[in-house]
Amino acid sequence: METHARIHPVLRVMLVNLIGCVVVPLALLGMTEGVLRLCGYGHSTRFYRPCERNGVKGHCENQRFSWLFFPPALARTTEPFFLPAEKGSNTFRVFVLGGSAAQGVPDTAYSMARMLDVMLRVRYPGRRFEVVNAAMTAINSHAVRLIARDCLDLDPDLLIVYMGHNEVVGPYGAGTVLTRRVPPRWRIRLELFVKSTRTGQLLSGWFGRRGAPTHWRGMEMFIAQQIRSTDPLLEKVYGNFSENLDGICSSAARAKVPLVVCTVGSNVKDCPPFVSLHGVGMPTDQIAAWQEAFDEGQQCEQAGIWARAASNYARAAQLDPGHAETWFRLGTARWAAGRRDPVTASVFDEARDRDTLRFRADRRINALVWSNESRGAVIADAAAGLAAAAPGGVPGASLFYEHVHLTFTGAYTVAALLAAKIAQMQPSWQAARAVPSLDECAAALCFTPWDEYRVMKDVLNTYLRKPPFTGQSGHSNLVARIDAAVQQMFRALTPIVLAGVEHTYSAAIARAPDDYQIRLACSKFLLAAKQDREASLRELLAVQELIPENADVYESIGKVYLALQRHDKALDAFQHARELSPASATLCNNVGIAYTLLGDRAAAERMFRHAISLDPGNAMSHNDLGTVLFQDGRVDEAIKAFNDALACDKDSAQAHSNLGLAHARKGEYAAARVQYIEALRADPDDVQALVGFGVLCVQDARYDEAIPLLERALKNSSDNPSIAKMLATARALRERARIHAVPLNPNAGSGPKL
């Protein structure tokens, strides 16, 4: 007689519940994931992707990797690379990982990775080197951990990590705007896993993250995220950094790949704190005493009595040790008084560590880097190396453009330190010569006088003229000093110097025709310095052949085609760029501009509205939409669009000028005058505003005001015949002031500006 085991009723209920609550949902999720993958929905979240170049199979950068950490509209990208799937037997493959400082911002052509590549090739000419710049702006250890994991799949011989500055403001940091702030580590891991699935990407596309920014505004986005040095959240940040760094070390050790981890340097001498706050709950009488000591320090500083200023600032620092600006003033006073010693260096470090906008790694971060020496990592003390290279042992403007981004000299200093570490790790290698000099590296990377000017001008306009730098003490003096230096660099660019720069680029391209960075820099030079659009386009097309799936290159090609009046070609280039980066509102906007210039206003309007849906805070898209509406005769709608642009950027000269033109078209001359004045306040050389305001002044018989405006407009428009005619009319009217005014069109201009 057969017997059958019976399941206890309670167990039966539990089993049914388990199947209903766990197994069935998991099965449905699995089916959904499979269907989405079969349909081609979503994207890989690995750092690399398979690709093929000239019939050679290999691996390239995945430009959508950063979507794990950023909203697509804000996604940052790494530098393009191609690695053959089959690495040569004599090839040494290096990956440099980290944030924007490691990437080489403000210009990655002169990054520490590029510098290291030059040094290794020169020292060991018998070997082949592949140095991959795997760093990325705004990321921190949460992202670097995943990048390191993926790079270990690509047969590396060495990983180099230079990170730490973005631990607070980067993804999952205590002061970020990009993700949730310091959630538990298990939740971070779960969230990243879900985003790596097609199902998670579908849900993310539907719901997104409420309140996430839609427009990249750089460091300005983080101004409200102030974190004191005593904030308990920092301990979680340090814990995450340590755990992620440990994960990188463990992964490298398991793969038997050598790992170099760097301490990171920052500008402490010439970069004041961004924001300083008093201690929490500090009594009012103590604040008053601090203020008195601080004011006395400032008075002595202004009088040049530095020793006494230092004494007063030291007293203020004792009263409020959490106030970053006090420490910075103390360091500056000690330095000016000639006390250039380790104590002064530590005072500057204290000022950085107390800064509540934490864009610079503090001493605790670098201490955690050192703790990984026992886990098998080789430590490269870049912070100490930069200090040793700085005058007086305190890193400043000679090594950093602003707060953390390395100058050419700074990048050279770190790269030389890394080259020395590699030499120690590879004792069997026979170096053909010493590390190449700074000038030799500049020649190899084509860092010419033109590029020095171009990069410094970009730093001034992209960083130093904008928040949070505008809130630093001494900001106006700093900007004036840098601006004077930039102007001096420009004046030094004589025709002979520019001819030498052109020759340098030609020789470099002949020597290394596959170096897309040199060709890209050459295209910028030819366009901006030589105004040779055709030659610039040729270099860009060569770059496109070298890195065929890069949206930025296609965008640059499209802009040159626009300048050449080849609008159909520009449209093709922008469309191709948009296919590669569909979440980019800027690229969508560029497509709209091309349609506008081709006369297809309906298509242009659709593209501008789509760009606004991707990034509602982009003033340019609102302005360009208004331009198309104005051209279509829909002036009231255009006025609304221009006002929307000003709501996004109140200092947009184009939007003010276009709004003035629209009001003038409606006969609302008083309103037009207000907008032209605002446009000229934002940009004194805006031609449309100069003409519009000048014509309104002529209408009011204010010829003495009108003529200088029209003269400036004529000068800035390369002697436009229409403006010359208006100016001649205004001058004639002034001479015949008693005769009725010859009518001028108050709607002067061909239309609003894109």
CATH number assigned to the domain comprising residue 419:
3.40.50.1110
- Local confidence band at 12 (pLDDT 50, 70, 90 cut-offs): low
The answer, yes or no, to whether residue 616 has pLDDT greater than 80, is yes
Give the C-alpha separation, 679 to 684, whole Å.
8
The answer, yes or no, to whether residue 193 has pLDDT greater than 70, is yes
Q: For a pLDDT cut of 90, what percent of the chain falls above it?
A: 79
Does residue 431 lie in a domain region?
yes
Q: What is the pLDDT of residue 713?
A: 86
Could you tell me if 160 and 60 lie in one domain? yes
Q: What is the pLDDT of residue 715?
A: 86
CATH number, domain of 661, equals 1.25.40.10
Longest dimension (CA), the chain: 129
Could you tell me if 160 and 103 lie in one domain? yes
The answer, yes or no, to whether residue 2 has pLDDT greater than 50, is no
Q: What is the pLDDT of residue 80?
A: 97
Q: What's the whole-number mean pLDDT along residues 545-553? A: 95
Could you tell me if 349 and 371 lie in one domain? no
Give the C-alpha separation, 698 to 705, whole Å.
8
pLDDT in tens, 507-524: 999 999 999 999 999 999
Q: What is the pLDDT of residue 135?
A: 99
Does residue 327 lie in a domain region?
yes
Does residue 27 lie in a domain region?
no
- Local confidence band at 741 (pLDDT 50, 70, 90 cut-offs): very low
* Residue 372 or residue 530, greater confidence: 530
- Cα 479 to the center of its chain, rounded Å: 20
Q: What is the pLDDT of residue 1?
A: 41
pLDDT in tens, 49-102: 999 998 999 999 999 999 999 988 888 999 999 999 999 899 999 999 999 999
Give the C-alpha separation, 247 to 145, whole Å.
7
Does residue 518 lie in a domain region?
no
Q: What is the pLDDT of residue 735?
A: 81
Does residue 113 lie in a domain region?
yes
b/e burial code for range 103-114 (CB count within 10 A of at least 16 → b): bbbbbbbbbbbb
Q: Which residue's structure tokens are 């001494």?
A: 474
- Local confidence band at 383 (pLDDT 50, 70, 90 cut-offs): very high
Could you tell me if 117 and 226 lie in one domain? yes
Question: In this structure, are residues 267 and 403 in contact, taking their beta carbons and an 8 Å threshold?
Answer: yes
- How many domains does the chain fold into? 3
Give the C-alpha separation, 58 to 134, whole Å.
16
Q: Tell me which of 447, 479, 495 is where a domain ends.
A: 447
Q: What is the pLDDT of residue 711?
A: 87
Q: What's the whole-number mean pLDDT along residues 484-491? A: 97
pLDDT in tens, 116-134: 999 999 999 999 999 999 9
The answer, yes or no, to whether residue 3 has pLDDT greater than 60, is no
The answer, yes or no, to whether residue 569 has pLDDT greater than 60, is yes
Query: Domain range holding 334?
Result: 284-354
The answer, yes or no, to whether residue 749 has pLDDT greater than 50, is yes
For the chain, give the mean pLDDT: 92
Q: For a pLDDT cut of 70, what percent of the chain falls above it?
A: 92
Could you tell me if 343 and 400 lie in one domain? no
